[in-house]
Amino acid sequence: MIKLGVLISGSGTNLQAIIDAIARGSLDASIELVISSKPDAYGIKRAKDVSIPTIALSKAVYNEPLAADLLIATEMQNAGADHSGVDYIVMAGYMRMVRRPILEAFPNRVVNIHPALLPAFIGAHGIADAFEYGVKITGVTVHFANDAYDRGPIIAQRALAVAADDTLESLEERIHAIEHELYPEVLQLLAEGRVSVDNRGKVHIE
Ligand code: GAR
């Protein structure tokens, strides 16, 4: 069993997929805390509905990235009923990069999901950028976050073919469906202790 802290910024469908996987018993984890970069993120409601503690960053804190990340690191290190902190920080639609205070407190313990096949189409609009470019294959990447935005060690990727009649909306729908399967699966690999990063920054799965 691993303890997770989840970072969100928006609708939180990936958070929901993780909550559902835990409830079904296919992910051996607990979510100890959800922190949102935005006070009105719908994902906060999803967390509250299942009694997960939440924190929404105020605008003043959000506008100071280093202070925000220090606060997040401290809250994640003290989360849980016994204040023993979380094992992993899970970025689930968290639309900013994490900085030194978080990365130093959780080395190789911050994971992110990105809706494209990294290193292609980094940034906040991975699905639309890939669609506009006209790629025939795109997909989803789960990786460890490090100090290079969307460039951390890749844990898992799943590809899908872009169909001739795909619209941006239909592609988004299929990407999200893959995300909702893949993220809980990768978190379960972490729960089983099967994921390691070598000194060249490559991920190995036992
Ligand atoms: C997801 O598609 C996630 O991959 C993406 O934001 C969406 C959030 O959806 N993240 C990024 O683009 C990060 N660069 P959700 O809030 O419903 O989980």
Q: Which residues contact 175 (CB under 8 A, 6 or more apart)?
A: 115, 127, 138, 139, 140, 160
The tokens describing 185, both together, are 């699966």
Identify the pLDDT of residue 33. 98
Distance 114 CA to ligand 1 centre (A): 7
- What are the catalytic residues? 114
Q: Pick the atom of ligand 1 nearest to 115's CA.
A: 4
What distance in Å separates the CA atoms of residue 2 and residue 83, rounded to the nearest whole number? 14
Distance 169 CA to ligand 1 centre (A): 14
Q: Would you tell me how many other CB atoms lie within 10 Å of the CB of residue 90? A: 27
Which of 94, 113, 121, 142 for mutating ligand 1's site (highest number of atoms within 8 Å of CB)?
113
Q: Pick the atom of ligand 1 nearest to 42's CA.
A: 16
Identify the pLDDT of residue 143. 98
Question: Under CATH, domain 2-205 is a member of which superfamily?
Answer: Formyl transferase, N-terminal domain (3.40.50.170)
For ligand 1, whether the C-beta of 114 sits within 6 Å is yes
pLDDT tens per residue, the chain (206 residues)? Answer: 999 999 999 999 999 999 999 999 999 999 999 999 999 999 999 999 999 999 999 999 999 999 999 999 999 999 999 999 999 999 999 999 999 999 999 999 999 999 999 999 999 999 999 999 999 999 999 999 999 999 999 999 999 999 999 999 999 999 999 999 999 999 999 999 999 999 999 999 99
Q: Would you tell me how many other CB atoms lie within 10 Å of the CB of residue 60? A: 9
What distance in Å separates the CA atoms of residue 154 and residue 77, rounded to the nearest whole number? 24
What distance in Å separates the CA atoms of residue 4 and residue 18, rounded to the nearest whole number? 10
Q: Which residues of 113-132 are buried (b: 16+ CB within 10 A; e: fewer)?
A: bbbbbbebbbeeebbbbbbe
Task: Tell me which H or E stretch contains 137.
Answer: strand 137-144
Q: Are 103 and 110 in contact (CB under 8 A)?
A: yes
For ligand 1, whether the C-beta of 183 sits within 6 Å is no
Q: Are 2 and 190 in contact (CB under 8 A)?
A: yes
Identify the pLDDT of residue 40. 93
What distance in Å separates the CA atoms of residue 171 and residue 138, rounded to the nearest whole number? 9
For ligand 1, whether the C-beta of 139 sits within 6 Å is no
Identify the pLDDT of residue 18. 99
pTM of the model: 0.97
- Sorted by where each begins, the domain ranges of the chain are 2-205
Q: Whose CA is nearest to atom 14 of ligand 1?
A: 124
Distance 64 CA to ligand 1 centre (A): 22
